[in-house]
Amino acid sequence: MRPLLEEICPPSPSCRVTPYAPQPDSYVLFVEEEEDYLEFDRNLAALLQAYPTPQALLIGRFPKECQMTEDLLLYILDKHPVLKTIPVMYDLDFVAHTQPLFTITIGAQVTVDTDRMLIQLDE
């Protein structure tokens, strides 16, 4: 199991350089985007600069307004070498604009199994 780090700061890089930004040794990133695919591309790059060694990346379902396609998403993900070495799951229902949704507790333990498509949270 890995400690969980949820992206809770605004997309601004200034939030990630404050002393209040968590700096765990081992973490899984849960991310979502509600704007558009260009914002997701920029925000993911900034997030991976601030947190360069995630144990996994879990991406919420994109709203239709985002205009994200699977080809665009794979193109964006392919730009980051670290994502070729860790589990990456996308199109997940865990964010505020999809149903059902659930609460993610920062600091919880998470198990990610991409073979069984399983995400288990233990608080």
From first to last of the 123 residues of the chain, give the pLDDT tens digit: 344 554 434 444 545 556 666 677 788 888 887 788 898 998 899 889 888 998 999 898 888 888 899 999 999 999 999 999 999 999 887 655 556 666 677 777 888 888 888 888 776
pLDDT, residue 95, reads 56
Per-residue buried b or exposed e for 41-68, using 16+ beta carbons within 10 Å of the residue's own CB: bebbebbbeebeebbbbbbbbbbeebeb
Q: Identify the pLDDT of residue 10.
A: 40
Block residue for tokens 């404050």: 18
Q: What's the pLDDT score for residue 66? A: 84
